[in-house]
Amino acid sequence: MTKRIGLIVNPVAGMGGSVGLKGTDGAMRERAIALGAKPVAPARTREFLTHIVLREDITLLVAPAAMGDDYLEGIDIDAIVLGSVNNATTGEDTKRLAAQMLTEGVDLLVFVGGDGTARDICDAIGLELPVIGVPSGVKVYGSVFALSARAAAAMLDAFIEGAEVAEEEVLDIDEQAFRRGVLDARLYGYLLVPNTAQFLQGGKEASSAGGSIIANKQEIAEYIAGHLKRDTLYLLGPGTTLQSIAEQLGIGKTLLGVDAIINHRLIGADLNERGILDLLDQYPRSKLIVTPLGGNGFIFGRGNRQFTPKVIAKVGRENIVVVATRDKIEKLECLRVDTGDYGLDRKLSGYMDVITGYKYSKLFRVEC
């Protein structure tokens, strides 16, 4: 039996990531464009659509123009366009179109965006309709999202073949606090999602503040600080573990930004892609230090979109340093990457050494 699948795209989701903004809510959209940000959602949408296997078993009900219909060219799937939108779309458009698709009797709704889009979908349909979240936003911390656009396509195929659904968390991320370097994540609600754990990301876990965790971060910080090479550019990604390294060096660190040091000096704070690339042009020797996101293990593609495919390729896989506390790493099955460039994700896959203490490390598998 043919399934009716809704599709809504937030066309500006993720645009703020490469330019160092912490989202595209409100006026941030225009600021992102002014800084030269390029759309992320179109490529994610097309990647999702092209990897659906059971295309003959679905009819798409898509939002108009940039919210869906614009990305169907060359896609061999029956589609019906619903409603209308203005050029400058908003969250209210997402809510209105989601409610309309519910009325039209879609069997499942796919949305492309981040946590803000998930909240709009939650407001519009609640638990009345299952959904699949295709990750595209700057903030993608909720557990309603697939691991990648390809994984979202596999989730849809599983749903068509009869997969059950389960409730997953929608998170409310305070974007104003996020821009100040504070990740304030609260439970907003729940959405029904196909119960396919192998394709679904885990929700963001809060950083632990226990004494043993703090001591472990200090161990890692002392080890990294003691092994920095002269005249080498170090790019520190977001996170409290990376902040501990900066503190060990006696320099400041933006908790949720990317900062650059050389010879124990801070030479760039809260950098965007352009700032990072300019520094990489100046300093031929460079290393990139990241820590996995607690709960789902992403080292690229969640929370650090300033590290774009261009940046990662220029630094090189061999110059990526992964650090993580033992408490965090023991809860993960693997590390994950979702840069938006599948070819690069494949090159990053394999095994990486993860520094877990002073002179302690663990070989860990990286998957895309």
- Transcribe 126-161 into DSSP letters: TTSSBEEEEE-SS---STTBBSSHHHHHHHHHHHHT
Give me the torsion for CA of 147, 287, 289, 292, rounded to 10°. Answer: 20
Is the predicted pLDDT of residue 347 greater than 90, yes or no? Answer: yes
Could you tell me the pLDDT band of residue 358, with boundaries at 50, 70 and 90?
A: very high
pLDDT tens per residue across span 58-106? 999 999 999 999 999 989 999 999 988 888 889 999 999 999 999 999 9
CA distance 18 to 10: 17
At residue 194, the pLDDT reads 97
| Average pLDDT estimate for 114-133 | 96
What domains does the chain contain, in order, with CATH numbers?
3-199 (3.40.50.10330), 211-367 (3.40.50)
Q: Whole-model pTM?
A: 0.85
Question: Residue 24 above 60 pLDDT?
Answer: no
pLDDT at 22 over 60: no
Confidence at 326, pLDDT banded by 50, 70, 90: very high
Q: How confident is the model at residue 20 (pLDDT cuts 50, 70, 90)?
A: low
User: Which pLDDT does position 16 carry in this prediction?
Assistant: 63
Average pLDDT of every residue of the chain: 90
pLDDT of residue 27: 57
Hey, which residues does 193 pair with through a beta bridge? 166
Nearby residues of 153 by Cβ (< 8 Å), 6 or more positions away? 48, 49, 50, 51, 52, 53
Q: What is the pLDDT of residue 163?
A: 96
Q: Is 73 helix (H, G, I), strand (E, B) or coil?
A: coil
Average pLDDT for residues 185-206, to the nearest whole number?
Answer: 88
Quote the CA–CA distance of 247 and 241 in Å, as a whole number. Answer: 10
pLDDT tens-place string over residues 261-308: 999 999 999 999 999 999 999 999 999 999 999 888 999 999 899 999
pLDDT given at position 205 = 66
* CA nearest to 146, candidates 47, 68, 6, 12: 47
